[in-house]
Structure 1
Amino acid sequence: MREKGLRLPLSESQSYYDLLMWFSFRKLWAFTGPGFLMSIAYLDPGNIESDLQSGAKAGFKLLWVLLGATIIGLLLQRLAARLGVVTGMHLAEVCNRQYPTVPRIVLWLMVELAIIGSDMQEVIGCAIAFNLLSSGRIPLWGGVLITIIDTFVFLFLDKYGLRKLEAFFGVLITIMAITFGYEYVTVRPDQGELLKGMFMPYCEGCGPVQLEQAVGIVGAVIMPHNIYLHSALVKSRQIDRSSKKELKEANKYFFIESTIALFLSFLINVFVVAVFAEAVYGRTNIEVHDICNATGILHLDLFPLNNETLQVDIYKGGVVLGCIFGPAALYIWAVGILAAGQSSTMTGTYSGQFVMEGFLNLRWSRFSRVLLTRSIAITPTLLVAIFQDVTHLTGMNDFLNVLQSMQLPFALIPILTFTSLSSLMSEFANGL
């Protein structure tokens, strides 16, 4: 330890100076926003569904897949941000300039499909949350119709400026952290098993069901339209692209911000996996039926009287938490799901607008854009909600996660290709 009053040696003083020059909280704050807006896609209802399924079907054994997918997602988001910073164009605009007509149209259609699928997951999540919060008084189809209001609410918020919108979504992420963190503290999962599952890339006794779930985790975490979105969001900050120093600085702070944002989203995802790994994994239908019957929680029809392994989804998962840990756990779970669904709504809205403008040079108003995608997303979801039950609604969620996995190449190939072109990225092109 240095004695008081002594001057630092020149080398040590220089290292402190270099550190201060390398990093500035004020500059980080100026660049903060796009990464957190992007990270919302890692916390949408599709992700929450994937998390709870992972915990219920494989316990803690697939946490390493979640960690790996998040790290890969961070690297891809870094490339997306770098493309936007260096070129001044987002990924869809670059695709429009670099690709011939046919592949460009195919790419656009695939990304639109991914956006609509994501929007459907948000609608499903919100509808289930409204149903749980109202103790079944708001039917699923009613919850689907209520989500139409999101269109107008978020367009209204957008008029107050991007920074205020970023702050609002920061509040929603905080709500998710608090609600799912509450469930985590309430359930008190085994920390040793959690760490083992996170850092040991092995799944003992796993079969096709767990393998399918592992693929679903990747599809839920790395969403193709989010790469297009992040490359556009970074353009909201003014950068002198003629200055290599400013470009390097912007890339650095956007990467730091994205790392912090995705670390927080990873923690929230871990909370959900751990809660269901501890509370649900290995339980049978009749066991949970008896617990719910003893505590007076409704929805006993969800659990048939047999010894088969319990199958859960967003809806049934909330009911199970209410049975085992009390009604507060059910309602807090529903609030978290609602925050997840509401926050990811605008992510899809922005993605759709940037993609349409970039690929087709069509400049629709946000109102028209949201109205179109939300109408397409709500129609099939509403039909399932009216004529089927919640099981089919959450089954649709599983299918949509698989759909997202299938759309990944339509974002990965362009972003890897363009960020590797020296003619486009100059010295910021990818290394070998």
Structure 2
Amino acid sequence: MAGGGGGGGEADAAGERAAGAGLGSRSAAEERSLLHPSLFSAYSDEDLVERAFEPAQKIVVSISSDPDDPDADDEHLYYGGHAPPFSWRKLWLFTGPGFLMSIAFLDPGNLEGDLQAGATAGDTLLWLLFWATAMGLLVQLLAARLGVATGKHLAELCRDEYPDWARRALWLMAEVSMVSADIQEVIGSAIAIKILSNGFLPIWVGVVITALDCFFFLSLENYGVRKLEAVFAVLIATMAWSFAWMFIKTKPNGKDIIIGILVPRLSSRVISQAVGLVGCVITPHNVFLHSALVQSRKIDPHKEYQVREALRYYTIESTMALVVPFMINLFVTTVFAKGFYGTKEAGNIGLENAGHFLQEKFGEDFFPILYIWGIGLLAAGTSSTITGTYAGQFIMSGFLNWRLKKWIRALITRSFAIVPTITVAVYFNTSDSALDVLNEWLNVLQSIQIPFALIPLITLVSKEQVMGVFKIGPRTQK
């Protein structure tokens, strides 16, 4: 400690540096390696400090003109009662976590829910899609608020704030949610690979390929968070192009779309599709993910003006990010409503045969709609698989406090999902309809899991002991 103890402190420091010193001179990592050499011997003290992102990985978001104190201008304005003027450059620096979070609104489970809602209910559930997305935005803003204001993500705070039995129960529910979502994501990618290979590669081979490419894309994080965010930007753009092209090709009725969004209608025969639509839009593991992703920017939670600024830009960024998945989900729902609502095929459409049904309905073209569907589905599956693995790492390390290297955590997280997914792929490989039914019920399972993430989130973000002045309530401070 600096400035403490005078000569006694210097003597202690000299004693610690002396070669051959006793137990008192050993570092914490060395003592732990003596107790558990197989587990801790490869770790330094720095490795044993668990973080969502290492300090060197975090992106600096200050753009002040003062080189000596880059935060001086913003701090002066905030404490003077005025927010600094809006900056597009600063918004760009904050842009990234929201778009990674938005991937969960675009995974193959969502596409399954969209196409089944469109084929079964036409445009009548578009209002539910809109309000589920709006509710999802509110939930994600609360998750971002929690992560920015505390410097910890939701899983870490659950570990700190809840008794052991509750922590383990919440962890189990989070894992069930993550694995069920991951099964859909990996199966969706595998189906896309089968479509694009003209059926040459079976689903189980696509599952293995998806597992391997997930590790490849996650390795890009070693070259900087921005590189990984750029990959997601390309995948989102690919999905937007693919499904927008399908929308333009099929020409759904604009008047029916507007009525579907503005007029709430719900029939008893589409209850399961409605519940699945909500479950695939609001995914529990995404709450844990977003509360961790916002920590990829260099923000000091102890500096109120930095937190306020981060919340300001993250609110804008997350809102912009969720406009894109809403439009893509809208495209998919309306395309299948236009093509199959009221037809005999409506009850039999799923991820695997959807492209073939589209091809039969809307015919050949220079770009066959079957392969456009396959490209969009592959982009959705690949991107959501990566974010699912990312979320699994945060969930495991947060709840269990497992201080493992990131690649080991990724391997364990992948194994949780890949083993049941390969089992599902082999078992359902000869039955497309059974696989579609499974996906539909997995969406319903996601709906059931929502409270196990939402209740802890709302509870923690409402506690002054956790959030300080940034807790939510009747007089929430921005």
Which bin holds the TM-score, normalised by the shorter protein? 0.7 to 0.9
What are the Cα deviations for residues 175-199 of structure 1, in whole angstroms up to 9, with x where unaligned? 0000000000000000000010011
Residue 332 (1) aligns with residue 372 (2): yes
User: Do 1:56 and 1:311's aligned partners in 2 also have CA atoms closer than 8 Å?
Assistant: no
User: Do 1:51 and 1:217's aligned partners in 2 also have CA atoms closer than 8 Å?
Assistant: yes
In 2: Cα distance, 1:375 partner to 1:243 partner: 40
What is the aligned length? Answer: 389
Which of 1 and 2 has greater Rg?
Answer: 2
Aligned-residue offset at 1:212: 1.3
Q: TM-score if structure 2 supplies the norm length?
A: 0.79
User: Do 1:349 and 1:366's aligned partners in 2 also have CA atoms closer than 8 Å?
Assistant: no
| Aligned positions of 1:77-88 closer than 5 A | 77-88=140-151
In 2: Cα distance, 1:42 partner to 1:249 partner: 26
Residue 133 (1) aligns with residue 173 (2): no
Residue 350 (1) aligns with residue 410 (2): no
Q: Tell me the equivalent position of 2:455.
A: 413
Q: Name the aligned partner's letter for residue 260 of structure 1.
A: M
User: Do 1:64 and 1:197's aligned partners in 2 also have CA atoms closer than 8 Å?
Assistant: yes
Match of 2:341 among 264, 281, 284: 281
Shift of the 20–113 alpha-carbon distance from structure 1 to 2, 3 Å rule, reads closer
What are the Cα deviations for residues 62-101 of structure 1, in whole angstroms up to 9, with x where unaligned? 0000111100000010000001111111111111110010
Residue 382 (1) aligns with residue 409 (2): no
| Aligned positions of 1:101-116 closer than 5 A | 101-116=164-179
Shift of the 242–148 alpha-carbon distance from structure 1 to 2, 3 Å rule, reads closer
Aligned-residue offset at 1:19: 11
In 1: Cα distance, 2:417 partner to 2:400 partner: 21
After superposing the two structures, state which structure 1 stretch, 341-350 or 185-194, moved more. Answer: 341-350
User: Do 1:151 and 1:367's aligned partners in 2 also have CA atoms closer than 8 Å?
Assistant: no
Q: Tell me the equivalent position of 1:301.
A: none
Aligned-residue offset at 1:245: 2.1
| Aligned positions of 1:230-269 closer than 5 A | 230-269=290-329
In 2: Cα distance, 1:178 partner to 1:237 partner: 29
Residue 391 (1) aligns with residue 433 (2): yes
| Aligned positions of 1:282-301 closer than 5 A | 282-285=342-345
Q: Tell me the equivalent position of 1:57.
A: 120
In 1: Cα distance, 2:427 partner to 2:152 partner: 45
User: Do 2:348 and 2:433's aligned partners in 1 also have CA atoms closer than 8 Å?
Assistant: no
Residue 315 (1) aligns with residue 326 (2): no
Residue 364 (1) aligns with residue 404 (2): yes
User: Do 1:282 and 1:310's aligned partners in 2 also have CA atoms closer than 8 Å?
Assistant: no
In 1: Cα distance, 2:409 partner to 2:214 partner: 10
What are the Cα deviations for residues 187-235 of structure 1, in whole angstroms up to 9, with x where unaligned? 00000000100111123xx223x11111111100000010011001111
After superposing the two structures, state which structure 1 stretch, 229-238 or 128-137, moved more. Answer: 128-137
Q: Tell me the equivalent position of 1:225.
A: 285
Aligned-residue offset at 1:311: 2.1
More helix by share: 1
Aligned-residue offset at 1:405: 1.1
User: Do 2:276 and 2:441's aligned partners in 1 also have CA atoms closer than 8 Å?
Assistant: no
In 2: Cα distance, 1:20 partner to 1:190 partner: 44
Q: Name the aligned partner's letter for residue 243 of structure 1.
A: K
Q: Name the aligned partner's letter for residue 424 of structure 1.
A: V
Match of 1:148 among 183, 189, 211: 211
The runs of 5 or more residues in structure 1 that have no matched partner are: 1-17, 286-308
Shift of the 135–245 alpha-carbon distance from structure 1 to 2, 3 Å rule, reads same
User: Do 1:40 and 1:343's aligned partners in 2 also have CA atoms closer than 8 Å?
Assistant: yes
In 2: Cα distance, 1:186 partner to 1:195 partner: 19
The runs of 5 or more residues in structure 2 that have no matched partner are: 1-80
User: Do 1:55 and 1:281's aligned partners in 2 also have CA atoms closer than 8 Å?
Assistant: yes
Q: Tell me the equivalent position of 1:12.
A: none
Q: Tell me the equivalent position of 1:290.
A: none
Where relative contact order (Cα < 8 A, 6+ residues apart) is larger, the structure is 1
In 1: Cα distance, 2:449 partner to 2:347 partner: 31
In 2: Cα distance, 1:151 partner to 1:273 partner: 28
Shift of the 395–367 alpha-carbon distance from structure 1 to 2, 3 Å rule, reads farther
What are the Cα deviations for residues 5-36 of structure 1, in whole angstroms up to 9, with x where unaligned? xxxxxxxxxxxxx9994411011011110000
In 1: Cα distance, 2:394 partner to 2:226 partner: 18
In 2: Cα distance, 1:88 partner to 1:246 partner: 12
In 2: Cα distance, 1:80 partner to 1:322 partner: 41
User: Do 1:31 and 1:254's aligned partners in 2 also have CA atoms closer than 8 Å?
Assistant: yes
Q: Secondary structure at the match of 1:23?
A: coil
User: Do 2:214 and 2:382's aligned partners in 1 also have CA atoms closer than 8 Å?
Assistant: no
